[in-house]
Structure 1
Amino acid sequence: MTSHATGSRDEWLAARLELLQTEKTLTRMSDEAARQRQALPWVRIDKDYRFDTRDGPASLAELFAGRTQLIVYHFMFGPDYRAGCPSCSAIADGFDGIAVHLQNHDVAFAAVSRAPLAHLVAYATRMGWTFPWVSSNGSDFNYDFGVAFTEAQQYEIGIAYNYRQEPAKVRLAANASADPAPAAPSGPEIAAAMTGTDVATYARERPGVSAFALQDGAVHHTYSTFSRGLDDLWGMYKWLDRAPKGRNEPGMWLRRRDEYGVA
């Protein structure tokens, strides 16, 4: 049972008005961050990235589908995954609703993953999704945009993700003895198991969003964000932030929407 302070309506209103000033400051800061995003210099892309789509092979420019702007969600679904990342799946539940509005405001939208297209189509069918989802399998796209990494990067160099360098991981010996009293599974362990992989394989894929512009026939990279930078695009969390107990995440509670209530 949660114990929380109670008070009169007048006390609540006074506290709410104080909070309102904080929220207004946050709104103004958000507006300024958006201005700075749009002021970033554009970087021309000359590499010929190829994707597999439901309509056949496509270039990065062709993903714009006649529009001048493109937003890509880097969906964690690697070639060795048996199912999509549960967190990416949760955020993707909102894509169908927003994609149609973006497409009618000169912004194309697509999710991109390294898994073969057939795996993406099967999973999208399971989840009931219709938004554009393309495969970059065999392409450097995910590697070049900082959301896919090699074993060498993971164990020898260290992964550079979210504009920070992670230390190289220690590779466990194949015959390493198991912990006789293992702790409860961590969030990454649970998420990895839900994708049918081990933690190391799961962690070589990462989530993110990248934006591109098409100008004079050339594609330019304009923006990317990763990790907690995706929070504002994840509608569920913005609702939870306004619930009485907030995100209330003592552990890995998230499941795919067709798995809740399944023992």
Structure 2
Amino acid sequence: MTAHALPPVVDAATWEHRLQELRAREKAATRELDAIAAERRRLPMVEMPDYTLEGADGPVRLVDVFEGKRQLIVYNHMWSTGQEWQCPGCTAFTSQYARLEFLDNYDAQFVVVTQGPIEEALAYRERVGNTMTWYSTANSPFGTDVGAPPGGGYAVNVFLRDGDTVHRTWHTDGRGTEQLGHTFGLIDLLPYGRQEQWQDSPAGWPQSPTYSRWAKSKDIAALYGPDAAGAR
């Protein structure tokens, strides 16, 4: 970062003009996202087998993960068996979701599913202060079948229940998950943005190696885990 890493200073009228130009593009992007969401609602779906996952109270059929709701969002958490600290990106991403009761009004449920053994998964959930419901697919092909195999990456999958039959309606992974969280949305509003080397920024803007500013899993545990100041 240089001593002159500042946007140019202009008069209010010039600033307002540039802001309106940018806003036109932002509004167009919003309308495009609306159109994408409309197309998502028109996607076909595929019927799923009757999978059995592992929960805190033992084996659970996939249809029962819905807990009576018709719609289900699953975050497939990356997992390295036996490791004390799991993927910091997944840990940080799921730490955003402390209050999910609003989904009740939309007949929907949001859970975490991981390839980790259920005992390890629940212990990690407690260690980092996560409040979502967790399940394990360690003894089921479910994770592999929805794009999150053992040793693989993270993903988001959405399902729709019709009676006792479950259908898969949507899937994304990688940066496709960003729209589901608020952290990058807030950071991208800042003048310096994410400050990662891959970003298109003016010369002299602060930039660091990708991921270097992300919170580590241990840091998240310190903030939200059982030993954090003011812990639940």
TM-score higher than 0.5? yes
What residue in structure 1 maps to residue 137 of structure 2?
Answer: 136
Q: Which residue of 2 aligns with 1:106?
A: 107
What count of residue pairs does the alignment treat as equivalent?
205
Shift of 1:92: 0.7
Secondary structure in 2 matching 1:259? helix
Structure 1 gap ranges (5+): 150-203
Alignment match, 2:166: 219
**CA shift for structure 1 position 80:** 4.4
CA apart distance, 1:258: 4.9
Q: Is the 8 A contact 2:88 2:217 kept in 1?
A: no
**Is 1:69 the equivalent of 2:77?**
no
Letter in 2 for 1:210: N
**3-state SS of the aligned residue for 1:247?**
coil
Partner of 2:24: 21
Query: Does the Cα contact within 8 Å between 2:53 and 2:60 map onto a contact in 1?
Result: yes
Cα distance in 1 for residues equivalent to 2:70 and 2:193: 38
Contact 1:91 1:235 in 2 (8 A): no
TM-score of the superposed pair, with normalisation by structure 2: 0.83
Residues 73-93 of structure 1 deviation map (CA, whole Å, 9 limit, x = unaligned): 011123344322100111111
Indicate which of 2, 9, 22 corresponds to 1:6: 9
Higher alpha-carbon deviation: 70-79 or 218-227: 70-79
Are the counterparts in 2 of residues 78 and 113 from structure 1 also a CA contact under 8 Å? no
Letter of the 2:60 partner, please give it: A
Write the distance in 2 (CA, Å) between the matches of 1:216 and 1:120.
29
Give the partner amino acid of 1:15: R
> Mind listing any 5+ residue stretches in structure 2 that lack a counterpart?
197-207, 223-232
TM-score by length of 1: 0.74
CA contact (8 A) 1:77 1:83 kept: no
> What are the equivalent positions in structure 2 for 1:191-230 lying under 5 Å apart?
204-230=151-177
* Pairwise CA distance, 1:125: 1.3
CA RMSD of aligned residues (A): 1.7
Q: For residue 247 of structure 1, what is the amino acid of its counterpart? A: R
Aligned residue runs from structure 1 range 42-81, under 5 A = 42-45=45-48, 47-81=49-83
Moved over 4 A (4+): none
Distance in 2, matches of 1:3 and 1:40, equals: 45
User: How many percent of aligned residue pairs carry the same amino acid?
Assistant: 30
SS in 2 for 1:146: coil
